[in-house]
Structure 1
Amino acid sequence: MAHKELLARHRAVMPKWLALYYDEPIEIASASGRRVTDREGTTYLDFFAGILTNAIGYDVAEISDAIRSQLDTGVLHSSTLYLIKSQVELAEKIAELSGIPDAKVFFTNSGTEANETALMLATQARRSEQVLALRNSYHGRAFATIAITGNRGWSASALSPIKVSWVHGGYRYRSPFKAMDDKDYIKACVDDLREIIETTTSGDVACMIAEPIQGVGGFTSPPDGLFRAFKDVLDEYGILFISDEVQTGWGRTGEHFWGIQAHDVVPDAMTFAKGLGNGLAIGGVVARGDLMDAINANSISTFGGNPVSTAGALATVNYLLDHDLQANAAKLGSRLLGGLRSLAEKYPVIGDVRGKGLMVGVEFVGPEGEPNPGAAGAVLAESKALGLLVGKGGLYGNVIRLAPPMTLTEDELEEALGILAQAVEKA
């Protein structure tokens, strides 16, 4: 089926707010390694990995075999009303990797659902509906997660089950504190946090939730140490801290397994999803045992932590640990950042290159430094024409997001940099 025909059918039955990339959207029909092939036979190097989800790449034998092994049992589903061995084994591994004392794990189907669960835990434990969130953040598309999303382009409703106060810090490039050095920037953001608590809340706030690197917001990140300084203030008030690791988890940032570790912080809870399943639908929360057990009503998850997704996720985690993909992300991420910063020196249309590991954002600007979504859109389209798939985001839609599978090779990296250089030159 041609893309145009499928697009017409898509628009007839799918909601108009369901975003699609490109003027002529494509269907991914097959994939292997770090390359995908569309329905019309064109192959691309994938530098967005299904929004960071295909973290190991495509057609990985160890993961596929684990899924097939579970399928061969005939048990695709049993619900959490029954014991699930792979679920328990995966929870044990994540609890250990988290570094959270006496950690317990609850599995969901997505990052949105994971963040909703974390908010429920925190508000129940603290008996407060007040939440602190960061400007320019994104945490999901459900009722409470839209409420804490600090990005107008992704906030579908002003209605909210919680009361949210917004804090500076996550998006440094356009911050009013941009010109400050790291130390003064952190101090200014901490002062803002304290003032927000004192002036916009009653003090008994449930939690702060933050992405160590903002994903949809354009792969923006504060100086290392900001969240350590935030946590010191939060502890004064007894406010819980939740790290949204949906995009930053599993070693993608290179230097640490969890993004928040760059700030020397052990959060009260972390949420996760995306790369854990390498394409399977799975997410969850790992939290201190007392916090996880704060719910005093019965609950289950019909599909969360099902036998197929947990079998695949367990194989995914084992693969990335056995092959030290965190180290690969650190090494190749450094080269990716270096190559892009060289481009930025040549082309003033690039205002900022940022990120860690294989999670890199390129912000495009106009002559006066204003957001330039047109240039980002041109790079998105031209990269595709040259055989490279990249992502786009940012508050103003002017950031190209690069997050390839963590199994990326040096040759593939150089290929991508060559294509991006051509795309930026054209933009």
Structure 2
Amino acid sequence: MTDLYARHRRVLPDWLALYYDDPIEISHGEGRYVWDSAGRRYLDFFGGILTTLTAHALPEVTKAVSEQAARIIHSSTLYLNRPMVELAERVAQVSGIPDARVFFTTSGTEANDTALLLATTYRRSNTLLAMRNSYHGRSFSAIGITGNRAWSPTSLSPLQTLYVHGGVRTRGPFAHLDDRAFVDACVADLKDLLGHTRPPAALIAEPVQGVGGFTSPPDGLYAAFRQVLRDHGILWIADEVQTGWGRTGDHFWGWQAHARSGPPDIVTFAKGIGNGMSVGGVIARAEIMNCLDAQSISTFGGTQVTMAAALANLTHLLEHDLQGNARRVGGLLIERLRAVGAQLPGVREVRGRGLMIGVELVRPGTDEADPQTLAAVLEAAREGGLLIGKGGGHDTSALRITPPLSLTVAEAEEGAAILEHALRSTY
């Protein structure tokens, strides 16, 4: 046990998760690589849980942070804030939401809290619809709408939450159906559920379930849900904390795979936009965002230095078409991993889109989750010089692969080779 690990254990909560039997301290990074305090280099395929969206130590971001910090770091939302206004203008422009208003927070959890406040106030209801296997943050209200038992330490909640089928395509009672029948069955389930309750305030859904193991429904499911929701006046909140900003390659926002019914009423975001800085936020059309009848502020949401970083990061992302790179390189990486998985009985599925890829592991010959082997693969990948994540629900265990969107083809092949060796050596 290292001295830092021992100190960590003495002063931090037992429930604060750490990766690896021998946890590592990441000391610095550049591009798609990071180094630990012992000087060992790793190819980073997890990006600080999807936060390093473009690259480690991206020059444009570090320059923006340095220059802004030399002027002023923070003043709160009680004063006009030029970087916040400029970023809000850009976010509203790319949001797809008409007459959009933007509120900045410090995290995805806080963004989802704010979305819940807006939806329940606007609709005068504390009933929420959420997806099974979902995750929306660690706060009291966010836990109350999280449909993943591993991340729900309490059943107490200020909200009444009803869970809907559809977030997991290849498991559950509708898994045997084709895509069209799957969507029809989920819509029928939603209609039946609404027939037994007072109209909820909103449905909150991740277009791709992040912590749940990068599962997703067929394209168009949430558009079909939207038709039903509109008949009841129910809002649609798209949790884009992990899927936004081009990570899925095919679309800038995950909800656009379900765009037949138009944009969501509310979009939440965080993680990648700050490229490691604490930036989250909510986008909603004006009538919803302005429905609060009491004053509010944010002490740390939208600070000048984080807004400058996010604005530089978004500009770099758009000017260098990193969404297109995620589509191209991510497509190659998915196919490479599928070819590997087809040869290993413990790989149930390689899924995802763009640079948001899940590799679900099972006990060979079964459909049962295999968390022990997953942990062993994680360790073997680290030993080989690759950092990846993990996730899943109560009956799934999956590797989570989310490199920075500037990943090169050579780096994708390097990471795939390390992961292949880790899988083969474990199985």
TM-score (norm 1): 0.98
1:153 deviates by: 0.6
Q: What's 2:286 paired with? A: 289
**1: CA distance between counterparts of 2:110 and 2:263?**
22
1:22-421 equivalences in 2 (<5 Å):
22-73=20-71, 75-199=72-196, 201-202=197-198, 204-264=199-259, 265-366=262-363, 367-396=365-394, 398-421=397-420
**2: CA distance between counterparts of 1:398 and 1:207?**
29
**2: CA distance between counterparts of 1:365 and 1:411?**
29
Amino acid of the residue matched to residue 216 of structure 2? S
1:173 deviates by: 1.9
Amino acid of the residue matched to residue 416 of structure 2? L
| Residue deviations 1:89-108 (CA, integer Å, cap 9, x gap) | 00000001001010000000
**1: CA distance between counterparts of 2:70 and 2:382?**
38
Q: Is the 8 A contact 1:377 1:398 kept in 2?
A: no
Amino acid of the residue matched to residue 412 of structure 2? L
1:361 deviates by: 0.2
| Residue deviations 1:184-227 (CA, integer Å, cap 9, x gap) | 0000110111111112x21x210000000000000001100000
Q: Is the 8 A contact 1:374 1:398 kept in 2?
A: no
Aligned length: 422
Q: Is the 8 A contact 1:173 1:352 kept in 2?
A: no
Ranges in structure 1 where 5+ consecutive residues have no aligned partner: none
Q: Is the 8 A contact 1:248 1:259 kept in 2?
A: yes
**2: CA distance between counterparts of 1:351 and 1:374?**
15
1:398 deviates by: 1.6
1:267 deviates by: 0.1
Ranges in structure 2 where 5+ consecutive residues have no aligned partner: none
The range that moved more, 212-221 or 367-376, is 367-376
1:172 deviates by: 1.6
**2: CA distance between counterparts of 1:398 and 1:132?**
25
**2: CA distance between counterparts of 1:84 and 1:20?**
37
Secondary structure, aligned partner of 1:334: helix
1:174 deviates by: 1.4
1:177 deviates by: 0.7
Which of 5, 11, 14 aligns to 1:7? It is 5
Secondary structure, aligned partner of 1:346: coil
TM-score (norm 2): 0.98
Amino acid of the residue matched to residue 31 of structure 1? G
